DNA sequence: CGCGAGCTTGATGCCGATCAATGCATGTGG
DNA sequence: CCACATGCATTGATCGGCATCAAGCTCGCG
């Protein structure tokens, strides 16, 4: 075994450029709130963040912006917020004011039903945007929870709208991101509506590795940030079923599974299982 | 039985203000194309349509616009398109140029998997918008099919973007509609991921009656525009299961089912089944 | 060291898929 | 107008995949 250092709190496996310590430059101005507590944990950093110098600019909202446009975007994204594992970035019913861009860390979003059932609607990693659910009603309609210590850029939405009225390219980019979110949801609906357990898990893993690869990671070796139960909730399965599917993949030599450490041994086998997914 | 006139091609049951004849003012400039054919059926009407005088303006994109803004919107929405039952408004892979607002009729959108499986991702009725799936990739990522003879307003997206750069209220409205689409999709994910057959059908029916009510219909008596199979595809069930659930509801006195003619006898019973859905 | 959260694995049962037959409404051509 | 075809819906019988229940296991941590 080459790479089994359980480094406690890594942000992502083999992160090429980022520090593994998310809180390095974050002043702990508030005591760590309990996870799930409904008080909004205030921990903002006024320190200047520039999209134009962010190494995520090719993944995040600024994609395709000119230098001038990006500098204007900089004036808008002026604060960050750090969250500890388990903290909520926002919760259902909270007034919507901002979108958030994940700088480091990992999130899940979930909707809750009245009777306690809930459904994970997505996992968000570095460079992905959160909060679109709140625009329609001006209140958030789901919870966003950090699955590890994380940091987000705060993007005040009213200002983003104002700026995107000036810059067509920014406007276009915003619309594209929202549209892709809709398309992604349709893909999940297809998955939930018509695939069987192993197909779902295969689709999930392929999606995950693809996104990790887009961020410079290996794509064959990864560490899951979420529990079997959270995967199950996302895929419409029980945690036992997820576990069994992992074991089956391992037996078949498709995957190497050590708790949350995964290695994809036969990507084609996964791909074959889902030869049915759109895009 | 009071109301069982099978009037062939009604657009919606008991439509209060609209003519039941969708094609009344539509010159049939093209021969009726076959359903499912991949050629885009061209049947546009140059005749002027004014959002400002449309009786759907309270349901559609113009919600909340001032008179001045709406008149500008009028200059943009200049053509309509009529489709026969079974025709596609757009199909997967087609270049995205416009959004569409349903004026009369009823649509489904579906994504297709490589192996033939497909998933209905939504049903759209009067006043609802179609086409957001295409913005992200500039090509449509699903098919939109008319479930009855229908008419849509064509909204060229580049022009809509330009106009929404001038009018903050229009921009805001567009963002809201897209956000609500995302929220709706999350609701469907919850449904597909965690509800059982009868709960899914109940949620579906409640959603349908609610939207019909918002359009001035009774909410207890409705005609389904889609087959059992399409309902099943939307809900992640087989058509037999949908049929059985309908029968069960009928046995329990919750519903009166005569083919596609439905009457809700006990709405609370339906509501109780889904006391778990968000929003 | 022992606790607990998360994971694995087995045994059993149920919900919904599948297969199959029939019924019903609409449309078509003889 | 009837015979027939066709598409859609209903209903029954059977089967299988996944949920459920239950028991250990692993690993990190106080």
Q: Which of A167, A184, A219 is the last residue of a domain?
A: A167
Nearest residue (CA) to C1' of D18: A241
Percentage of chain B beyond pLDDT 90 is 73
Find, in chain A, the residue whose alpha carbon is nearest to that of B191. A119
Q: Which of B115, B133, B278 sits opposite A276 (nearest CB)?
A: B115
Residue B114, chain A, CB below 8 Å: the answer is yes
Pair B150, B200 in one domain: no
Q: Which of B127, B159, B189 is the last residue of a domain?
A: B189
Residue B218 lies in a domain: yes
Residue A173 lies in a domain: no
Pair B172, B265 in one domain: no
- Chain A nearest CA to B273, separation (Å): 11
Range with the poorest average pLDDT among A125-139, A230-244, B74-88: B74-88
pLDDT at A43 over 80: no
Grade residue A44 by pLDDT with cuts at 50, 70 and 90.
Answer: low
Residue A237 lies in a domain: yes
Residue A85 lies in a domain: yes
Cross-chain Cβ contact A180/B136 below 8 Å: yes
Grade residue B48 by pLDDT with cuts at 50, 70 and 90.
Answer: low
Chain A contact probe: residue of B173, B185, B193, B242 with most A CBs at under 10 A: B193
The larger pLDDT score, comparing residue B42 to residue A47, is at A47
Report the C-alpha dihedral over residues A181, A187, A188, A190, rounded to 10 degrees. Answer: 150
Residue B278 lies in a domain: no
Q: What is the pLDDT of residue A49?
A: 73
Question: Distance between CA A8 and CA A23 in Å, rounded?
Answer: 14
Pair A156, A84 in one domain: yes
Residue A279, chain B, CB below 8 Å: the answer is yes
- Chain B nearest CA to A184, separation (Å): 9
Cross-chain Cβ contact B276/A115 below 8 Å: yes
Q: What is the pLDDT of residue B43?
A: 53
Pair A225, A125 in one domain: no
Residue B3 lies in a domain: no
CATH number at residue A61: 2.60.120.10
Q: Which nucleotide is nearest to A196 (CA to C1')?
A: D17
Residues whose CB is less than 8 angstroms from the CB of residue A264 and which lie 6 or more positions away in sequence, other chains included:
A205, A209, A219, A220, A221, A222, A254, A255, A270
Tracing tokens 């049915």 back to the chain, one arrives at: A276
Q: What does the mean pLDDT of chain A come to?
A: 85
Residues whose CB is less than 8 angstroms from the CB of residue A266 and which lie 6 or more positions away in sequence, other chains included:
A252, A253, A254, A255
Mean pLDDT of B14-34: 38
How open is the CA angle B19-B25-B31, to the nearest 5 degrees? Answer: 115
Token pair of A208, please? 């995950």
Pair B107, B231 in one domain: no
Grade residue A48 by pLDDT with cuts at 50, 70 and 90.
Answer: low
Number of helices (H) and strands (E) in chain A: give both, helices first: 7, 12
Highest mean pLDDT among A8-12, A20-24, A215-219, B139-143: B139-143
Grade residue B78 by pLDDT with cuts at 50, 70 and 90.
Answer: confident
Pair B180, B239 in one domain: no
Grade residue B116 by pLDDT with cuts at 50, 70 and 90.
Answer: confident
Mean pLDDT of A102-106: 96
- Chain A nearest CA to B260, separation (Å): 23
Q: How far is the CA of B240 from the C1' of D14 (A)?
A: 15
Domain limits for position B243: 195-273
Mean pLDDT of A174-196: 97
Residue A82 lies in a domain: yes
pLDDT digit string (tens) for A245-262?
999 999 999 999 999 999
Q: Which of B189, B204, B233 is the last residue of a domain?
A: B189
Query: Which runs of consecutive H residues, i.e. helices, occur in A137-274?
Result: 157-166, 168-194, 197-214, 228-235, 239-251, 267-273
Report the domain count for chain B: 2
Q: What is the pLDDT of residue A55?
A: 86
Grade residue B27 by pLDDT with cuts at 50, 70 and 90.
Answer: very low
Residues with CB under 7 A from strand D: A 6, 8, 196-198, 232, 236-238, 240-241, 259; B 224, 227-229, 239-240, 242-244, 246-247, 257, 259-260
Where is B128: in which H helix or E strand? none
What radius of gyration, in Å, describes the C-alpha atoms of chain A?
Answer: 19
- In 3D space, the residue among A27, A8, A51, A2 whose CA is nearest the CA of residue A167 turns out to be A51
CATH number at residue B250: 1.10.10.10
Pair A235, A140 in one domain: no
Pair B129, B204 in one domain: no
Question: Distance between CA B8 and CA B260 in Å, rounded?
Answer: 13
Cross-chain Cβ contact B190/A117 below 8 Å: yes
pLDDT at B152 over 50: yes
Residue A240 lies in a domain: yes
Mean pLDDT of A222-235: 97
Pair A210, A250 in one domain: yes
pLDDT at A89 over 60: yes
Q: What is the pLDDT of residue A115?
A: 82
In this structure, are strands A79-83 and A150-156 parallel, antiparallel, or unpaired?
Answer: antiparallel
Q: What is the pLDDT of residue A114?
A: 79
């Amino acid at each position: 075994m080459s790479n089994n250092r359980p480094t406690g709190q890594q942000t992502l496996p083999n992160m090429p450029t980022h520090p593994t310590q998310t809180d390095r430059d974050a002043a702990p101005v508030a005591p760590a709130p309990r996870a799930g507590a409904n008080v909004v944990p205030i921990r903002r950093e006024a320190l200047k963040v520039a999209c134009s110098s962010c190494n995520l600019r090719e993944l995040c909202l600024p994609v395709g912006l000119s230098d001038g446009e990006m500098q204007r975007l900089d004036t808008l994204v002026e604060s960050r917020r750090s969250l500890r594992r388990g903290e909520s970035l926002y919760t259902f019913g909270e007034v919507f004011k901002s979108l958030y861009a994940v700088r480091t860390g990992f999130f899940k979003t979930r909707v809750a039903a009245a009777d306690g059932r809930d459904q994970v609607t997505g996992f968000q990693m570095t460079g992905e945007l959160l909060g679109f659910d709140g625009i329609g009603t001006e209140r958030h309609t789901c919870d966003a929870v950090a699955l590890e210590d994380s940091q987000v850029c705060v993007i005040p939405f009213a200002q983003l709208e104002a700026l995107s009225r000036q810059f067509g390219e920014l406007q276009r980019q915003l619309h594209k991101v929202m549209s892709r979110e809709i398309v992604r949801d349709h893909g999940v609906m297809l998955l939930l509506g018509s695939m069987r357990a192993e197909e779902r898990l295969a689709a999930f893993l392929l999606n995950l590795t693809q996104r990790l690869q887009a961020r410079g990671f290996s794509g064959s070796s990864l560490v899951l940030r979420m529990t079997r139960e959270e995967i199950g909730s996302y895929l419409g399965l029980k945690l036992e079923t997820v576990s069994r599917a992992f074991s089956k993949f391992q037996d078949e030599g498709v995957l190497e599974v050590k708790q949350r450490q995964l290695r994809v041994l036969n990507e084609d086998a996964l791909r074959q299982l889902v030869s049915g997914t759109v895009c």
